[in-house]
Structure 1
Amino acid sequence: MAARQMDDDTPEFLQVLGLDSDASAREIRGAYARQLKRIEPAAQPQAFQELREAYEFALHWVAEDAKPARHAEPATPESARQLQHANAQATARAMLEEFKLSIAGQPPRDTEDARLRLRAALDDPRLQDLDARFTFEGGVANLLADGWRPGHQHLFGPAVLCFEWRTDRPRLKAYGHSGTIIDKAIGELEIHQTQPAARREEQREVIRDLRRETPPARGEASYSPDFMRQVIASYPNWLHVVTHTANLTLWHEDGIAASRRSRSEAARKLGRAVGMAVKWLLVLAVAGVLAWAWLSEGDVIPHGAGLAASQPDDASGRGALETPPAARAVDDAK
Structure 2
Amino acid sequence: MLPPFLARLRLDAGADRRAIRSAYAREVKLIDQAIDPAGFQALRDAYEAALRWAGAPSLMVNELGTPTRRAPDRAHERATETGRLAFARLYQWAAPILQGMDPDRLQALERTLLRALDDEALINLTARAAFQDACVEMLVKGWQPGHEVLFEAATLAFRWEQDSTHLEQSGEQGFTLLLALQEQFIARRQRDFDVRKQHQILTRLRLGRDPEPHFLQRDIDHLRLMQSRLPNLLPIIADRAAIARWHRAWQAIDPGPPEDEDLHNPYRHKARRAAGPDHGHAGQAGEDGDLALLWRICQVIIVFYVIRWLFF
Question: How far has the Cα of 1:244 moved from its partner?
Answer: 0.9
TM-score if structure 2 supplies the norm length?
0.69
Partner of 1:305: none
Q: Does 1:112 align with 2:103?
A: no
Partner of 1:39: 31
- The CA distance in 1 between the partners of 2:212 and 2:48, in whole Å, is 60
Please tell me whether the aligned partners of residues 17 and 55 of structure 1 are also in contact (alpha carbons under 8 angstroms): yes
Equivalent in 117, 131, 135 of residue 126 of structure 2: 131
- The CA distance in 1 between the partners of 2:142 and 2:96, in whole Å, is 17
| Cα distance change of structure 1 residues 235 and 62 upon mapping to structure 2, 3 Å threshold | same
| SS of residue in 2 equivalent to 1:211 | helix
| Cα distance change of structure 1 residues 71 and 193 upon mapping to structure 2, 3 Å threshold | closer
- The CA distance in 1 between the partners of 2:40 and 2:32, in whole Å, is 8
| SS of residue in 2 equivalent to 1:43 | coil
Q: How does 1:308-327 map to 2 (within 5 A)?
A: none
Give the letter aligned to residue 240 of structure 1.
P
Question: How far has the Cα of 1:16 moved from its partner?
Answer: 1.6
- The CA distance in 2 between the partners of 1:94 and 1:77, in whole Å, is 31
Question: How far has the Cα of 1:197 moved from its partner?
Answer: 1.8
| Cα distance change of structure 1 residues 252 and 50 upon mapping to structure 2, 3 Å threshold | closer
Please tell me whether the aligned partners of residues 206 and 239 of structure 2 are also in contact (alpha carbons under 8 angstroms): yes
Q: Does 1:239 align with 2:231?
A: no
| Cα distance change of structure 1 residues 182 and 258 upon mapping to structure 2, 3 Å threshold | same
Partner of 1:26: 18
Question: How far has the Cα of 1:226 moved from its partner?
Answer: 3.1
Partner of 1:58: 50
TM-score if structure 1 supplies the norm length?
0.65
Question: How far has the Cα of 1:149 moved from its partner?
Answer: 0.9
Q: Does 1:188 align with 2:187?
A: no
Equivalent in 73, 86, 94 of residue 85 of structure 2: 94
Question: How far has the Cα of 1:63 moved from its partner?
Answer: 2.2
Partner of 2:309: none
| Cα distance change of structure 1 residues 252 and 45 upon mapping to structure 2, 3 Å threshold | closer
Equivalent in 154, 157, 169 of residue 159 of structure 1: 154
Q: Which runs of 5+ in 2 are unaligned?
A: 255-312
Q: Which runs of 5+ in 1 are unaligned?
A: 1-7, 260-334
- The CA distance in 2 between the partners of 1:58 and 1:242, in whole Å, is 42
| Cα distance change of structure 1 residues 165 and 58 upon mapping to structure 2, 3 Å threshold | same
Partner of 2:202: 207
| Cα distance change of structure 1 residues 108 and 41 upon mapping to structure 2, 3 Å threshold | farther
Question: How far has the Cα of 1:235 moved from its partner?
Answer: 1.1
| Cα distance change of structure 1 residues 239 and 199 upon mapping to structure 2, 3 Å threshold | same
Max Rg structure: 1
Give the letter aligned to residue 236 of structure 1.
P
| Cα distance change of structure 1 residues 251 and 70 upon mapping to structure 2, 3 Å threshold | closer
Give the letter aligned to residue 205 of structure 2.
L
Question: How far has the Cα of 1:115 moved from its partner?
Answer: 0.5
Question: How far has the Cα of 1:201 moved from its partner?
Answer: 0.8
Q: Does 1:179 align with 2:179?
A: no
Identity of aligned residues (%): 31
Give the letter aligned to residue 38 of structure 1.
L
| Cα distance change of structure 1 residues 200 and 90 upon mapping to structure 2, 3 Å threshold | same
Equivalent in 70, 76, 82 of residue 85 of structure 1: 76
Give the letter aligned to residue 159 of structure 1.
A
Partner of 1:169: 164
Please tell me whether the aligned partners of residues 161 and 181 of structure 2 are also in contact (alpha carbons under 8 angstroms): yes
- The CA distance in 2 between the partners of 1:222 and 1:58, in whole Å, is 65
Q: Deviations over 1:42-78 (max 9, x none)?
A: 43233223222221222223322x3xx5886687365
Q: Deviations over 1:89-141 (max 9, x none)?
A: 23212212223333456526421122011111111122222222222222211
Please tell me whether the aligned partners of residues 218 and 224 of structure 1 are also in contact (alpha carbons under 8 angstroms): no
- 179-188 or 35-44, which moves further after superposition? 35-44
| SS of residue in 2 equivalent to 1:210 | helix
- The CA distance in 1 between the partners of 2:10 and 2:120, in whole Å, is 17
Please tell me whether the aligned partners of residues 202 and 222 of structure 1 are also in contact (alpha carbons under 8 angstroms): no
Q: Deviations over 1:296-328 (max 9, x none)?
A: xxxxxxxxxxxxxxxxxxxxxxxxxxxxxxxxx
